[in-house]
Amino acid sequence: MKTIRVSDETWANLLRLKADLRARSLDDVIKKLLNAYGLEKEEEKAEEGEIKEGEEVESPPRIRQYLCENCGYLFEVEGEADKCERCGSENLQILKEYF
Ligand SMILES: [Zn+2]
């Protein structure tokens, strides 16, 4: 889990941007900025949920789905796996990653 805390100055800048862009929320600010820089594809990866003043923002855990190339075992791990949960082989392939 990663926690992001912004300074009062950063927060003030974000609120100013929000007003400048006439955004409805900070999520909207991020979307508008991404659009402005032509990064629409990145938008899909943007976190869901609104950032509220004074709240700590937690990024959701990244889940990885691994396939063991040794025994064919399929398993999911929060974070990273270095070994197969069944046979202990380090010969793993990442099939999917999601948040
Ligand atoms: Zn295995």
Distance 76 CA to ligand 1 centre (A): 13
Which residue, among 64, 71, 53, has the nearest Cα to 6 in the 3D structure?
53
19-to-5, 76, 95 alpha-carbon distances in Å: 21, 42, 42
Mean pLDDT of the chain: 81
Asked whether the predicted pLDDT for residue 37 surpasses 70, the reply is: yes
Distance 74 CA to ligand 1 centre (A): 8
pTM: 0.41
Average pLDDT over residues 52-81: 84
Distance 61 CA to ligand 1 centre (A): 24
Share of the chain above pLDDT 90, in %: 30
- Domain edges within the chain: 2-59, 63-98
pLDDT band (50, 70, 90) for residue 92: very high
Neighbour count for residue 38 (Cβ, 10 Å): 8
Average pLDDT over residues 54-74: 83
> Contact, 64 vs 58, CB < 8 A?
no
Distance 59 CA to ligand 1 centre (A): 30
| Cα–Cα distance measured from residue 72 to residue 2, given in angstroms and rounded to the nearest whole number | 32
